Structure 1
Amino acid sequence: MQYPTTPCLSKYIKHYLVFDIPSNGQKRYRHFSNGHNGIVLTLKKEEFVSINSKTTLPETFVFKQISDNQDFYISGATSIVIVLFQPFGLYNLTGIPANHFVSDFEDSSLIFGKEILKLKNQLQSSSNSNEVINHLNSFFTHKIKSNNPLINPFLSNSIQLVHNKKGDISVNDLCAQIGVTERKMQRMFSKQIGVSPKKFICNIRLHHFLSLLRNEKGFLSLTNLSLQAGYYDQAHLIKEFKKIVGFAPSKYQKTKRLAVNLIEF
């Protein structure tokens, strides 16, 4: 289930997600890029393994911006809390450049210290979702007050413009409207977000298409939806979709989804 954060945190955190995964043996999931990074906190100790890297993940880890998708499996029942940052939120809260992360998943304690383990214990002891959200808000409000992060206005305006255009904008046009060189734009995105401007734009356009697909009532064809989302044609959509998600839109529609970009298959 999705929960909002407080107004003062909304500049840095998009929302929280809380899931209960029942015990039905080993389940395989796929996470694909959406323009955000975040923190995962597993509240019940079960095996959480990245299939791509063939490693068992920590009970709490940071996932960075990814180019396409990551597969993992969970054995047994567990509860998961996800903190989904705004594109530059993790950088602003930690001061760590996004391009300094070596792997797709990093132990949260290496970034946030023992405080994150204390937070996880608080979440595990919570009796309901409201308590969970209150602990999360308290933790990140303290981080903001301690760090006093500054948001780059050029980057913030760039992200807002891409969202306003729903990903239907070129990097050249983005630079021209924001008033920075392409080189500066590339550096800002690499350092604070972790992907190139082009990749970020592709992610936003894809997720705009997914929102159209979710709200479509059967009146429009895939071709019409692809044109409405800013793709040249259906072939262009399917090529980009497969590159990011790993398979065609028709298969995606048949999957069981915990979130838009978190699917069981």
Structure 2
Amino acid sequence: MTNVLENYTSLKPNNKELQNYIAYYYFDFSLKKNTVKKFIFYPHYRNALTIYKNSRISFGENSSYVSPDKEKEYEISYTGIHQHSRVGKIQAPFNKIGIVFQPLGINNFIEFPLCKVIDESPKANFDYFGNTFNSTLKLVYSTDGIEQKVNLLDDFFINRLNPFKEERLTDAVRLIFEKELAVQQLSETLGFNRKTLYRLFKKHLNCGPKEFLTIVKFRKALNLYQSQDTKPQLTEFAYQNEYYDQSDFIKHFKKVTGFNPKKFFSNISHLGSEDTFWTLLGN
């Protein structure tokens, strides 16, 4: 990438087993000094670790700001499942790595329930993986080859793999993606009460099942719309995605994104080769 001033690349793990837990890695850098990258990113059923080299991050209620800091070797933050859109601002130069987990992905690399590991989201200074992870990051940042970077991250996570054993929650998440069942239907299908379902979601995903369902429905609609070469009429699209009517569709999108669907879809940008969709803003 000689002479390239900025770039965003996303890649799946090379290790096939890890793909069950890690959706993709992304590598994002900019050498354009004194410029600011500003964007809106939207709720997702996935959660992520974000690593910056020589930068510092601060969080507001629904925002984040990253600025250069040569004294800070690595800034590692965690963003869990969030219900509202967030505004990000990154001041260049920056060098960023993202590790985007499947919904229950990170649970396969930690020894305790997620609610015990993460007490807030987003969380700066995420140091759960300790010095071993920092040693891996040094290797990742010191190599220029993207495939080599992916292999180094793969090696770290495959050595930490400790399969998540709460099958009731695994089944619940699978059913939500397959059938989009309402919470009561989900509880009845799984054969345990709503309180137990809620407790499992809060313990291992730090969100409730209803919130999770809402985000899954939004993301499915977003991915489907972006995948179609000929964009459908919004009324047709609302029924296609099992919204009650167009009004329900508009209400849902405004609640999740802050925009009506027409404005949202007209301003969305696709980054990389995976499902990263941001609204890019002016400086």
SS of structure 2 residue aligned to 1:176: helix
Partners of 2:154 and 2:17 in 1: CA distance: 10
Q: Mark the CA change 1:241 to 1:15 in structure 2 (over 3 Å): closer, same or farther.
A: same
CA contact (8 A) 1:48 1:73 kept: no
2:237 corresponds in structure 1 to: 225
**Pair 1:242-2:257 in alignment:** no
Displacement of 1:98 in angstroms is 3.2
CA contact (8 A) 1:108 1:116 kept: no
The counterpart of 2:174, out of the listed 152, 156, 160, is 160
Q: Mark the CA change 1:151 to 1:11 in structure 2 (over 3 Å): closer, same or farther.
A: farther
Which range moved further: 203-212 or 133-142? 203-212
The counterpart of 1:134, out of the listed 151, 154, 169, is 151
Deviation per residue, 1:148-189 (Å, 9 max, x gap): 333322111211111112x3x211111122222111111111
Q: Cα RMSD over matched residues? A: 2.3
Q: Mark the CA change 1:98 to 1:230 in structure 2 (over 3 Å): closer, same or farther.
A: farther
The counterpart of 2:41, out of the listed 20, 27, 31, is 31
Deviation per residue, 1:101-127 (Å, 9 max, x gap): 333222454321122222221221012
**Pair 1:75-2:91 in alignment:** yes
**Pair 1:8-2:22 in alignment:** no
Report % sequence identity: 21
Displacement of 1:60 in angstroms is 1.8
The counterpart of 1:180, out of the listed 189, 192, 197, is 192
Gaps of 5+ in 2: 1-8, 67-73
Q: Mark the CA change 1:209 to 1:30 in structure 2 (over 3 Å): closer, same or farther.
A: same
CA contact (8 A) 1:48 1:72 kept: no
**Pair 1:256-2:269 in alignment:** yes
Displacement of 1:213 in angstroms is 1.2
SS of structure 1 residue aligned to 2:217: helix
Partners of 2:103 and 2:223 in 1: CA distance: 19
Partners of 1:256 and 1:52 in 2: CA distance: 24
- Structure 2-normalised TM-score? 0.82
Gaps of 5+ in 1: none
